[in-house]
Every structure is written in structure tokens, then in C-alpha cells.
Structure 1
Amino acid sequence: MTTLDSQADKTLCHLDKVSSTELAEISSDSGIHDGLSPLENQVAGHPFDDKRRTIGMLRRPGGHVLKPVVKPLLGKREIAFYESLQTTQDPVMLQLKNYVPKYYGTTELQIFGKRITFLTLKDIIHGMSEPCVMDIKIGRRTWDPLATPQKRATEELKYAESKCTYGFCITGFHVYCLSSGQLKKFGKHYGKTLDAKGVVEALKMFLNIRPERPPCRQLIVQLLSFLWKILLFFRTQRLFRFYSSSLLVAYDAKRLRHYLRLNKTSDRTTGRQAKPFSSALSARATASSTFNDASVAACNATPAVAETNRNRRVHFVKRSISLSSECDTAGKEKTLNRSGSCSPDFRVDRLCRTHSYANNFDDDIVRMKEDYDALLSELTSSPEEKQNWVRINMIDFTHVFPTEDPTTLDVNYLEGIENLIKLIEMFLVPKDNAS
């Protein structure tokens, strides 16, 4: 049984004792235990490096990640925090439990000849095809009450302009480019260079917002729904002070691509001008006039020729009515779902095309392929994938302390998350209406 050293950190006396540690099968002195792999989507902290022999986060099959305890005192503090959430009956703590990764205890592994303790947590991106991940450290102040003067000075210099302006900083992110499918990575060195304007541009880049591509409302609204709930929690909780804690934001670019295609199809459909009723009458009148002219000519023809012309007239009239009917209904939307019945979840444009050099068939083929890919994604995605493609977790609790004044709120965290919400809410405002 692993216990806390009460002399090492008296601030943890209110927390439950750490539970027993799972002892995994020990691997060789170098490398990683069989079945584990480095966490490729780690966007902050030190990554696993076999050459430099640095230990980072690992991924375990089944949707788990392993976070190493590098500094014993800080690690014990974070383990104790997660352990306290498992047995608490406090309403505030139970609410907090909804916003943190699910905790599965600890695991010990021997890596590079060292015996390392890992926290076993649920992987936030498990099941995502093209996970985009961003680590946002919340709070203008990132040093805790036990920090030395030197530590405080060092922390004040990190991400200074971003923290001073917004009360949060972006420590790194990975994002898939929608057009190419290429994964782009931006680490802590990039985050440290961001000024006030750079933070906004980084958020746009992460959310795949471009001048030619407006924000996806489905993505923005889902992100805000998570952030508003966490904001509400910090407007009521008076138990803790969270220093240097982060929000881990993730979404699936594959699903985003689907929604953007859906929205584009919808805008193209609703923006099409309906064909005037007079135009339909004109088309029918033209067909009728042509029919009458053909009838007069047929009267002077031989019986054999007359019969041939009559068959041609019937085919011509049917074709004219068919084309006119297709043009009248071209502006309508056709919806499909698994059962073949109508559904508002997906819209497919009908293409009314005649063989003409005026039409760009290459563009038509590209658009039809995009429609097919989007329809296939809609039909093959599970309900959970459709609803659970955007996720946010609170992470990093090595610097969480009980409050010294239970009558006050954690204004340091509040300032950061409020400003983050304001920036993301701006993406919902059309440019024409933005002040």
C-alpha cells in the first residue's frame, strides 16, 4: 500500500490515501513494455524519447493512456487528487468528476532501468479517426503557494504576453488540415511566441477556420457547451485553487470535414433561385409549338414517313416534359438515411445536366465524390461518433491546493476560462455583424 508522506506536503491531509498500485509485467531495462506505445498525440510536456531516454506519456490498447510520475512529490499530489474523486460524496467534487479523465489507478513499469509509476487515465481521443488536440493552460498565475522565488520568476516569464492579456496560454496543439489530411504539430516553443493576436490566429488554425472557410457552428457550439459547464463549476466551487492546470480540447477532423460539407451543400441548395412558374410554362409552350409544327409537316408525308415522325414526336414530347419536370424540381432537397426514408441529417443535391461544352464535368465529378464520401460517413457513423466527436477534459492536477479562504472563488482560473469562452464565442458572430 502506497501512502502519502504527511511531512512532505501537509496540504494533502484532507485527501484520501492512495490506493494500491497495479504492478505490470516488467520489461527489459530499455524500451517500452509490450503492448504499450508512445502517445503520439501528446501536445505538452516531455515526450517519450528512446534516444534521449526521456519518459513521456504512453498509450495502452483499449483506450487508456499512462502518465508518468516524474517528480515524486508532485506525482503523489496528483494521484491523491484523483483518488479523492473516487470515494468523495461532496457535491462539488462529484460535479468536478464529470470534467476530468476517468481514472483507473496506477501502474508501475521499469523503463530505462528505472522503476516508474504511471497514472492510468482514459484516452480523450480514443475512437477518433483524425484527432485534433490542443492543451490550454488556464490562469494568469501558474505557480503554487509552495513555489520558491526563483520558480515564481521563471513561471512569470513563460507565455507572459498571452497570460497577461487573456489569463491563459496555449502550450501546444496538433491539427489535421482538412484539404490535404496532413497533420501539423505546434509545440511549446511556438506557444511561447504567441502575442494577443497570435493566440486568436492559433485558435483559428486549430479550429480549421480559413478566410474562404467559415467556422463550423456545430464544432463551436459543442466546444462552448463544455466550457460553459466548467465555467459554471468555477463560479460555485470554493474548495480548491487550481494552478497550472490545463484544458485538453479534442475533436475529430474527419467528422468536422463531414459537417462542413453538409453545411456547404445546404447553403448551395437553399441559395439556389427557384425557377419561375412562367419559365416552366414557356418550356411547355415551346414543346407544344414544336409539336404543332411537326404535326403540319406530318400531314403532307407518306404513311410510312408519317408513322416514323409520329413516333419521334411522342419521344420528343416525353423528353421535353421530363426535362422540364427535372428543372422544376432541381431546387428541391432530397434526403436519405439508412432506411431510405427522408432525414434532415443529410442532403443530396440532384444534378440536372445536359451534354454541353458549357458544363464543367470535372467539377461535377468532384462534387459528386464529395457528396458520396459525406453520405457514406453519415450512414456508417455510429450514434456515439456523431454525438461524441468533440471532447474537453480538465487535466494536470499537480498544483491543486485547498483554498485558504472558503468564501472566495478561484478568480485566477475564472479569468482565464471566461476570456477563452469570449474568444470562441466571437467565431459565432458573422463578419458583417462583428463590431
Structure 2
Amino acid sequence: MEGILQHPDGTVLKQLQPPPRGPREQEFYNKVYDSDCCDSILLELREYLPKYFGVWSPPTAPNDTYLKLEDVTRKFNKPCIMDVKIGQKSYDPYASAEKIQQQVSKYPLMEEIGFLVLGMRVYHVSSDSYETQNQHYGRSLTKETVKDGISKFFHSGYCLRKDVVAASIQKVEKILEWFEGQTQLNFYASSLLFVYEGSCQAATMRLSDVTLAEKRRVPKGLLSGGDVLEYNNNIHVINSTENGKIEASVGKGLSKFYALHKKACSKRHHSQLSLKVENSEQDNVWKTSTCITQEHLNGNVLPQLEKVFYHMPAEPKESAKVEVRMIDFAHVFPSNTKDEGYIYGLKNLITVLQNILDN
């Protein structure tokens, strides 16, 4: 099976794209995570990427190569995920005229706005359900509507999570600082992945006002032949050694940042998807299963949540559980100048987030 798999150790396997994109992304990760690396710029960059654990190939298909990466969503109970492509150009310096035209026509406002929302998935406490938006939603946003379009990602169904907005700004500012201080690399068609905890459990416990239903217990059991049936918050994996195959169904938390080749998705697999996001190559898919185990909140909790979260501080003493990571590196090139297009996009995104916070 091609595409996304989860290794039994909890990492995620991203299949290498066809040349030159796949080898270029592998080379980028190898350079940044080289054990002999002593370049302070690259060492700092590691803070903003998913951790990289080398490559992996299934024993039965040694020619299939996967990047072994950290699952950034794994630690979240109800992960809310947004993928934002950054930069004024979503095509690299070596793109053909045809490719440039194709990319520009997808989102003509890219140069002016500097970023594009590729998709989002938001947990609503009020309904105990997820809302998803695909790439068409992002491309429908204009200069006038982009603020409201992005603010939707930070809304719990009861209120705007200003704590998350504030924490996100701080993390994006750190990435901007890195870009302002480096002239080694330029990034095209690369994204920022935003993840935050949609469950209000941490905040409500901190405020001691309400409690939520306890976190889902993690069931584990043995399948025939001793194979372990594993669960986490993001992926349901059956690690089956029969016929040398590994089967996986992607669950609610996993984002598009581990690229899937669209052509490899079977009709059966497509029928399970509730969210699909194309990246600049139109061959990557953000997959989430519709088969989600619902957690029902205690009946007496919901009316109180509204009171609590309308009055949550913008920057609580204990910062919100938020991750912002750079992802998708099939179009990273050596440079001797600042990456002005990416910097422009980051600054514009920070401005939009600040406007959301100030309102």
C-alpha cells in the first residue's frame, strides 16, 4: 500500500515522491539532521521541523522508500490542524512557464497575500464534532475575508481561542526570526502546520471551574498470530505481518503534511475520506477517516464551558498547547540571499493573526 503508514513505534512514514522532488526532500532532511552537523543555522532549524528518523523500506518492497518522521499530532487528544502554504510564489526557480501559469492560476492572490490556507480541521466542543475545510475554502479567501477565514480555525464552537492565537503568533515569530537570520536556503511550496488541543480539558482543569469527561482510554489487544492492534489519537494501525503487508487507516488527527500520491489511493480508500487537500503538486492528499469515536461530554459541562471560555485570558500563565512546524520540503534550494518571499508571507500571516487577537 502506497502513501501514509504509521510505524509501530509511533512515527509516521511519508512515501518519497518521484524525482526530483522526493530525493530533494530527503537530501534536505539528511542535511539538517546530519549527526555531524555543526551549522548553528541548521541546528536551530530542527526546532521548527518534525523530527526526522531517516528512511525506511518495507522488507517485501525494498525499492519503496519512506521518510520516517515525527507525528506532530500524536500528543493531542482532540487535535485541531491547519496547513498554510507560505511564500509569494508556490513554484520554484526552475519551474517551466507552463508550471508557473498553472500555479498562479490556482491562487492569483498568492503574491499579494503571501500565504494560502490548504485546509483545516477544527474540533467544536459544543457539538463534540469536527469541522473540515479543504483547499477550495482557502482559495476562496480574499484580502478582505482572509482574517475571518483563518479565525474560523481558532473557534471552539463557543468562543475564539485567543490563548491559541497568542501562542501561535509567538511560534510563527520565532520562525520569522530564523528566516531573518539566514541566507542559506530558499523555500517554495512549503507549509506551516498548526496544531492545537481542541479539547478544553487542560484549560478547564487549570481554571478549576468545570471538568470534562475523562480522556478516552487507549484500548490495546492482540490479533490472531500475536499481532498487536494499536490505537492513538491520530491513526488506527493494524500491524499485520501476513503477506508482508502493513495496513493502516488514517484517523482523525493526521494531516496532509505527510504527502500521499493521489494516484495511489484506491477507490475503496477514497470512499473513506472526509477531507482532501492538494498541495502545489496536486498529488498529495490530506486524509482523515470518517470513522471517529465520539466522546460525549458530561451534560452539566457544556453550559458552563461558555462562561469559562468567553473569559479566557489571551495569554494564560500556562501557555496553550500549540505546535507550529514547517513541513513539505520538495522545493528547497540553496541560496545566498534572504528568502524574501517566505518572510513576506510570514509577516503577513502574523499581521492577520494579530488582528484576530486584537478583535
Q: Flag whether TM exceeds 0.5 (same fold).
A: yes
Deviations 1:299-335 (A, max 9, x none): xxxxxxxxxxxxxxxxxxxxxxxxxxxxxxxxxxxxx
Aligned equivalents of 2:33, 2:17: Cα separation in 1: 23
Aligned residue for 1:91? 40
Q: SS of the counterpart of 1:196?
A: coil
Q: 1:110 to 1:160 in 2, by over 3 A?
A: farther
Aligned equivalents of 1:139, 1:74: Cα separation in 2: 18
- Aligned amino acid, residue 107 of structure 2: Y
Q: Which runs of 5+ in 1 are unaligned?
A: 1-31, 33-54, 263-344, 350-364, 375-385
Deviations 1:41-100 (A, max 9, x none): xxxxxxxxxxxxxx4322234431111113132111111111111222111111111111
Deviations 1:373-415 (A, max 9, x none): x9xxxxxxxxxxx767210110111111111xx2x31110000
Aligned residue for 1:132? 80
Q: Does 1:399 align with 2:331?
A: yes
| Structure 1 segment 292-311 matched on structure 2, within 5 A | none
| Structure 1 segment 121-270 matched on structure 2, within 5 A | 121-161=69-109, 163-208=110-155, 213=159, 215-255=160-200, 259=203
Q: SS of the counterpart of 2:199?
A: helix
Q: Which has the higher contact order (CA 8 A, sep 6+)?
A: 2
Report the TM-score, using the length of structure 2 for normalisation.
0.66
What CA RMSD, in Å, does the superposition of the two structures yield over aligned residues?
2.6
Q: CA deviation at 1:114?
A: 9.7
Q: CA deviation at 1:239?
A: 0.6
Q: CA deviation at 1:254?
A: 0.4
Contact 2:164 2:322 in 1 (8 A): yes
Q: 1:130 to 1:72 in 2, by over 3 A?
A: same
Contact 1:159 1:191 in 2 (8 A): no
Contact 2:147 2:355 in 1 (8 A): no
196-205 vs 152-161, which moves further:
196-205
Deviations 1:93-141 (A, max 9, x none): 1111111110011112389x89421111000101211111111000111
Q: Which runs of 5+ in 2 are unaligned?
A: 211-298, 309-317
Q: CA deviation at 1:258?
A: 5.1
Aligned residue for 1:288? none
Contact 2:156 2:198 in 1 (8 A): no
- Aligned amino acid, residue 122 of structure 1: E
Identical aligned residues as a percent:
31
- Aligned amino acid, residue 233 of structure 1: W
- Aligned amino acid, residue 366 of structure 1: N
Q: CA deviation at 1:176?
A: 1.1
Larger radius of gyration: 1
Q: SS of the counterpart of 1:228?
A: helix
- Aligned amino acid, residue 346 of structure 1: L
Aligned length in residues: 258
Q: 2:346 aligns with which of 397, 414, 417?
A: 417
Aligned equivalents of 1:389, 1:254: Cα separation in 2: 10
182-191 vs 136-145, which moves further:
182-191
Q: SS of the counterpart of 2:171?
A: helix
Q: CA deviation at 1:185?
A: 1.8
Report the TM-score, using the length of structure 1 for normalisation.
0.55
Aligned equivalents of 2:325, 2:81: Cα separation in 1: 11
Q: SS of the counterpart of 2:300?
A: helix
